[in-house]
Chains A and B, each alone.
Chain A
Amino acid sequence: MAKGVMIVAEQRDGALRKVSFEVASAARKLADQLGDEVSAILLGSGVEGIAGELGKYGVDKVYVCDDAAFEPYTTDAYAQAITKVVKEKDPAILLLGASVLGKDLSSRLVGSLATGLASDCTDIKIEDGKMVAVRPMYAGKCYGEIVVSGSPQMASLRPNVFAAAENAKAGAVEKVDAALDASKLKTKVLEVQKDESGKVDLTEANIIVSGGRGMKGPEGYGILEELASVLGGTVGASRAAVDAGWRPVTDQVGQTGKTVSPNLYIACGISGALQHMAGMSSSKYIVAINKDSEAPIFTKADYGVVDDLFAVVPELTKECKKLLG
């Protein structure tokens, strides 16, 4: 009988990622409702030392698979090992972070475990002893409540949505031998090219300053970069700006880009096409700066400024600098 809540913890370069603490905290809540334990699987090379940190966020037990083949991440190695551990430990619920690698891994596990996955969820609860996962569909134009009939019931959780809450548990570490079949490893990471700018990914940013067609060209983004830097935020863009070649595709927010949920989203010169608003409407606070008072973005904004963004943004940067001293 499947029992307990298990999470897959994600680490990068020997440090646990924030999303892992968010997932652990969400798992703790579910487990408390079910009266069960939370376990975690942590894969990597030389990661035993960080496993205990998961205990701080409510994990009772951490299974550590330590093998050079787990650094860096490959789908083959991770899916093979996790499938084995999950089949052995038989959790009722399996949660992962919906990071880029979490998405890659979780969808592969659907095949290897022959179960269902609610991906990129924004809420999760227990109803009648079963997991019910809430997730945006159509980039947030509607929401679906998902129930999984396979076992384990799997969900991946959108980064930045679930709070990482300290709730100390044992976090007992147990080493597990993954017994990898190397003949099944068909992919290899040749190179990891780090972005040295220190820019936080849009999906994990707390503050996003985003620019659209109203920026008039790539050089206009300088003032957004300045505001973002004062606020400790990340610059995003609308599809119009990306398609015009003003910003890289990794900056795009919307239905064919990234769906984001920061604490603060500042939309500058963005009219608010449906596909854009779908991607950012779960932001906690939205500021819109646009000359056109009729722009649809104002229907979603908590604070709307009808004015020329090239006049407002530098002033806003100045004011924020003052406040943040």
Chain B
Amino acid sequence: MNIVALVKQVPDTEAQIRVKPDGSGIDDSGIKWVMNPYDEFGVEEALKLKEKAGGDVTIVSVGPARCVEAIRTALAMGADKGIHIDDPTLNNADAYTTANALAAAIKGIPYDVIFCGQRAIDDDSGQVGSILAELLDLPQLTIITKLDIEGTTAKAVKPIEGAQLLIESSLPCVITAQKGLNEPRYASLPGVMKAKKKPLEVKDAAALGITADAKAQVAKTTAPPSRPPGKIIDGADAAEKAAQVAKLLREEAKVI
């Protein structure tokens, strides 16, 4: 089985995000970068599939030089090789451009299943997997919490509001991973050592025959609206405080 897993490098969930004074983006100095947590679920599922069905796992990532760390992490977890798409014209690219670059790279390799996170926790767009599926003319199974692949058929569980769908798709297909799908393994120390020797190809936009074609741009980045300072409720005991809160919610906030 030829398995592809996409990874993106993003700021850690505990990172403070500071907006640049001119609103042109975020100040990324001092940020700790990690593999997108949802991509970890994708990589783990790719590795589980390889263990079950055989084959190999190729990691593909778009981003600047630092993204090598995210690819190496996936290789250390057990993936076999990496493709790093690194081109200054693709930094901070929109979902359409990113998916185009990924599609161009993936067209050049054999694939049966493509995994990625259901969204990246930086821009929270949640688009790349589906756009990629469309560009490669593949079916998609998105935001999946359970997966079973037998032969050339994938069966996946997708939670929606108030229900769960059990969906079947033929392979090849794109699958986007949601939390709950699995428990990603940690890279072992021997894994980290081995990862250093695994093949990692770097490609730029020209090598892929693509040019950045942004369809959606972030014209301005702003800090979130600040919340006015709240009240700390006084009271002799829990009952008194609770009574006050209930009254405020009813009379002041009018939300109950």
Within 8 A of B (CB), among A103-133: 103-104, 106-108, 110-112, 114-120, 132
A195 in contact with B215 (CB, 8 Å): no
**Which residues of the other chain, A, contact B135 by a CB distance below 8 angstroms?**
111
> Are A116 and B242 CB-contacts (below 8 A) given A145-B222, A250-B159, A256-B38?
no
Within 8 A of B (CB), among A267-325: 273-275, 281-282, 284-287, 293, 298, 300-308, 311-313, 315-316, 318-320, 322-324
Q: Which of the candidate stretches A21-29, A30-38, A50-58, A182-190 sits at the interface with the other chain?
A: A182-190
- How distant is A3 from chain B, measured CB to nearest CB, in Å? 19
- How distant is A118 from chain B, measured CB to nearest CB, in Å? 6
Most buried by A among B170, B214, B237, B255: B255
Within 8 A of A (CB), among B222-256: 222-224, 227, 230-233, 237-239, 241-243, 245-250, 253, 255-256
- How distant is A20 from chain B, measured CB to nearest CB, in Å? 13
**Which residues of the other chain, A, contact B125 by a CB distance below 8 angstroms?**
107, 117, 119
Closest to B23 in A: A145
Q: Which of the candidate stretches A86-94, A147-155, A163-171 sits at the interface with the other chain?
A: A147-155
B139 in contact with A187 (CB, 8 Å): yes
**Which residues of the other chain, B, contact A282 by a CB distance below 8 angstroms?**
224
- Out of A108, A120, A275, A302, name the residue touching B131 (CB < 8 Å): A108
Complex: A145 Cα to B221 Cα, angstroms: 6
Complex: A42 Cα to B142 Cα, angstroms: 22
> Are A107 and B238 CB-contacts (below 8 A) given A142-B223, A187-B168, A255-B121?
no
A146 in contact with B13 (CB, 8 Å): no
> Are A116 and B214 CB-contacts (below 8 A) given A264-B255, A323-B250?
yes
Complex: A178 Cα to B180 Cα, angstroms: 36
- How distant is B112 from chain A, measured CB to nearest CB, in Å? 14
> Are A147 and B219 CB-contacts (below 8 A) given A119-B127, A186-B139?
yes
A136 in contact with B124 (CB, 8 Å): yes
Q: Which of the candidate stretches B52-60, B74-82, B91-99, B194-202 sits at the interface with the other chain?
A: B91-99
- Out of B123, B232, B249, name the residue touching A264 (CB < 8 Å): B249
> Are A264 and B124 CB-contacts (below 8 A) given A100-B160, A111-B134?
no
B124 in contact with A139 (CB, 8 Å): yes
Whether, in the assembled complex, B203 has its beta carbon less than 8 Å from a beta carbon of chain A, the answer is no
Whether, in the assembled complex, B150 has its beta carbon less than 8 Å from a beta carbon of chain A, the answer is no
What are the interface flags for B127-138 relative to A under an 8 Å C-beta threshold, 1 for contact and 0 otherwise? Answer: 111111111000
> Are A192 and B238 CB-contacts (below 8 A) given A116-B94, A147-B216, A149-B217?
no
Whether, in the assembled complex, A101 has its beta carbon less than 8 Å from a beta carbon of chain B, the answer is yes
- Out of A195, A256, A259, A311, name the residue touching B163 (CB < 8 Å): A195
- How distant is B45 from chain A, measured CB to nearest CB, in Å? 15
**Which residues of the other chain, A, contact B216 by a CB distance below 8 angstroms?**
116-118, 146-150
Whether, in the assembled complex, A45 has its beta carbon less than 8 Å from a beta carbon of chain B, the answer is no
Whether, in the assembled complex, B63 has its beta carbon less than 8 Å from a beta carbon of chain A, the answer is no
**Which residues of the other chain, A, contact B2 by a CB distance below 8 angstroms?**
none
A304 in contact with B256 (CB, 8 Å): no
> Are A303 and B166 CB-contacts (below 8 A) given A139-B124, A323-B256?
no
> Are A108 and B133 CB-contacts (below 8 A) given A144-B221, A298-B232?
yes
Complex: A188 Cα to B99 Cα, angstroms: 25
Whether, in the assembled complex, B26 has its beta carbon less than 8 Å from a beta carbon of chain A, the answer is yes
**Which residues of the other chain, A, contact B210 by a CB distance below 8 angstroms?**
none
> Are A285 and B124 CB-contacts (below 8 A) given A116-B96, A150-B216, A204-B161?
no
B19 in contact with A107 (CB, 8 Å): no
Most buried by B among A106, A199, A274: A274
**Which residues of the other chain, B, contact A100 by a CB distance below 8 angstroms?**
143, 158-161
Whether, in the assembled complex, B11 has its beta carbon less than 8 Å from a beta carbon of chain A, the answer is yes
Whether, in the assembled complex, A249 has its beta carbon less than 8 Å from a beta carbon of chain B, the answer is yes
B169 in contact with A186 (CB, 8 Å): yes
Whether, in the assembled complex, B37 has its beta carbon less than 8 Å from a beta carbon of chain A, the answer is yes
Complex: A110 Cα to B145 Cα, angstroms: 24
B131 in contact with A111 (CB, 8 Å): yes
**Which residues of the other chain, A, contact B222 by a CB distance below 8 angstroms?**
142-145
Whether, in the assembled complex, B107 has its beta carbon less than 8 Å from a beta carbon of chain A, the answer is no
**Which residues of the other chain, A, contact B130 by a CB distance below 8 angstroms?**
75, 104, 107-108, 110-111
A281 in contact with B227 (CB, 8 Å): yes
B255 in contact with A143 (CB, 8 Å): no
Chosen A-B contacts, 25 in total, with CB atoms closer than 8 Å, are: A101-B160, A107-B131, A110-B215, A117-B215, A135-B124, A137-B218, A138-B11, A138-B123, A139-B121, A142-B224, A145-B222, A146-B217, A147-B219, A150-B215, A186-B173, A187-B169, A192-B166, A231-B256, A250-B180, A264-B255, A273-B14, A274-B14, A305-B232, A315-B238, A316-B246
Q: Using A100-B143, A312-B241 as known contacts, list a sample of 14 further A-B pairs with CB atoms less than 8 Å apart, ordered by residue number in A.
A: A75-B130, A100-B161, A108-B140, A116-B95, A138-B11, A147-B217, A149-B215, A187-B139, A207-B255, A249-B178, A259-B124, A300-B230, A301-B230, A315-B242
